[in-house]
Amino acid sequence: MKIGVMIQEGPYNHEASDTAYKFIEAAMAKGHTIQGVFLYDDAVTNVAKHMEPPQDDRHIARRWSELGAKGVDIVVCVAAAKRRGMKPELIVDNTRISGLGQLSEICTEAERVVTFGD
């Protein structure tokens, strides 16, 4: 099954990012395809390059970069990114900034779309 994912909450304050990541891992382990992950609203900060969590905490931005390196398309909403001062050079590798058209494409090509956060 092709699955699209949208995340709307930022890292560390909410469980949306963690839950989405674990969901994607489980879906891929079962053989499903992740059509794309769209980071919207505060979720754009999940891929902030300057993130430096304590050593004993999970590194959320690194998780998304590693998932992107596995071929999952991680898309950061350009409008939400601009509102939060997130420029292309400030996001981790294997992610990209694009518009709502990408969300529309993910939704059109996916058989199911799952949203995490508000």
* Cα–Cα distance measured from residue 73 to residue 47, given in angstroms and rounded to the nearest whole number: 13
Is 107 annotated in the active site? Answer: no
Name the nearest CA neighbour of 36 among 88, 94, 83, 78: 94
108 near 114, Cβ under 8 Å?
no
* Cross-strand pairs, 97: 76
Question: Considering 43, 77, 78, 80, which one is annotated as catalytic?
Answer: 77
* Cα–Cα distance measured from residue 117 to residue 10, given in angstroms and rounded to the nearest whole number: 9
Annotated catalytic sites, by residue? 77
